[in-house]
Structure 1
Amino acid sequence: MDRFIIISGCSGGGKSTLLEELSRRGFSVIEEPGRRIVASELAGDGTALPWVDAEAFLLRAIALSLEDLERARALPGLVFFDRGLLDAASGLGEMTGEPVLRRYGDEWRFNPTVFLTPPWPEIYRQDAERQHGLEAAIVEYERLLRDYPALGYEVVELPKISVAERADFVLDRLRRSGLTS
């Protein structure tokens, strides 16, 4: 699964904006499961929201991520994931103490390089789908910074530069590893 690239990191750090740029450049992008779940739950009367029932939310995120992975197999070339399976498993494992991350981390492998957006207070915004504050986002980021290397991934922190420059940075890094031309 070297062609499956994870873009993760701090909430509000510019992941989705970066992925929009990569999509604009012709790459396949899988949208963040969490945002899709929250939008769906808010549109109905669902309770699988991170601020209502975090465990139900994370279980739904894992299920949706597994569906995304199956769909992604049919996509050509590089596929960029906005968070996904390992982020949800990391959160669920932290909450329950169960070895969820190890189980999914062993079963599903991605490109060995994971790109993380660092905390970026200047661009962080709360909204209807992101109700947690920057402090909670930083705690989540630190957990991911611990968990991805524990699974054997090399973490590359994305610099705080323009969206186009960030996309160039990611693609250059992948080019140097032989994944893009």
Structure 2
Amino acid sequence: MQCHNFYVLTGGPGVGKTSLINELQRRSYPVVPEIARELIKEQEQAGGLALPWKDRESYKELMFERSLNSFKQAAKHFSGKQAVFFDRGFIDSLAYAHLIQSTQTDHLEEAAQRFRYHPSVFILPPWPEIYTQDQERKQNWEEVVATHQQMVETYEQAGYQLIEVPRIAVSERADFILKQVCNGQAKR
């Protein structure tokens, strides 16, 4: 299933993805929120173990299942050429699997080939001036950089072209992305 109107915004933690998604939504573009923060909050409230600092494999699987489900639900709901923006894609789960050196990735790799976003993916680079840790975001700076690099490698291995979003104000980042999408510079 190829959804060329589905655009992924990805990168390491704390680089401004959610702020950017919120800006795109404010401009009336449909968005699909990030799964990770919701999953972490849910697991903590339930006393669950599927957390990146407890059971990384279970966390990876739940994150993948929910992210892929979000893709499938969006495919049913948003048809045609309307741009839909995702705060991370299910391929981020594959990148996370590589990051934690999981040996159980065949089903993730199969999904990465079967279900396709737009061929151009927007990646937000590490930005130390805006990075902050919080209850759900516990990574140190080295982990932020390593996560970014793994995202780059995984998306490229999956056949996507990465477009780096500059470190500028949120509204300017949104303008940059929309210019790429609307002018056809995010190539198919």
TM-score (norm 1): 0.93
Q: Give yes or no for contact 1:92–1:100 (8 Å, CA) kept in 2.
A: no
> What is the CA deviation profile of residues 123-158 of structure 1, one whole-angstrom value per residue up to 9, with x for unaligned ones?
000000101112111101001111111111110111
Q: Tell me the equivalent position of 1:127.
A: 134
TM-score (norm 2): 0.90
Q: Give yes or no for contact 1:115–1:155 (8 Å, CA) kept in 2.
A: yes
The 3-state SS of whatever aligns with 2:163 is strand
Quick check: 48-57 or 170-179, which moved more? 170-179
Structure 2: how far apart are the matches of 1:66 and 1:156?
A: 22
Q: Tell me the equivalent position of 1:177.
A: 184
The 3-state SS of whatever aligns with 1:96 is coil
Taking every aligned residue pair, what percent have the same amino acid on both sides? 34
Q: Tell me the equivalent position of 1:5.
A: 7
Matches within 5 A, 1:149-168: 149-168=156-175
2:114 is the alignment partner of 1:107:
yes
Matches within 5 A, 1:9-28: 9-28=11-30
Deviating beyond 2 angstroms after TM superposition, the runs of 4 or more aligned structure 1 residues are 97-102
Structure 2: how far apart are the matches of 1:116 and 1:2?
A: 17
Letter in 2 for 1:105: A
Structure 2: how far apart are the matches of 1:127 and 1:66?
A: 26
Letter in 1 for 2:87: D
Give the total of aligned pairs: 179
Q: Give yes or no for contact 1:21–1:164 (8 Å, CA) kept in 2.
A: yes
Letter in 1 for 2:13: S
User: Kindly tell me: are residues 142 and 100 of structure 1, through their superposed partners in 2, closer, same or farther at Cα, counting changes over 3 Å?
Assistant: farther
Q: C-alpha root-mean-square deviation of aligned residues, in Å? A: 1.5
Structure 1: 5+ residue stretches without partners: none
Q: Tell me the equivalent position of 1:118.
A: 125
Q: CA deviation at 1:93?
A: 4.0
Matches within 5 A, 1:133-152: 133-152=140-159
Q: Give yes or no for contact 1:145–1:155 (8 Å, CA) kept in 2.
A: yes
Q: CA deviation at 1:28?
A: 1.1
Structure 1: how far apart are the matches of 2:154 and 2:69?
A: 22
Q: CA deviation at 1:102?
A: 2.7
Structure 1: how far apart are the matches of 2:66 and 2:90?
A: 8
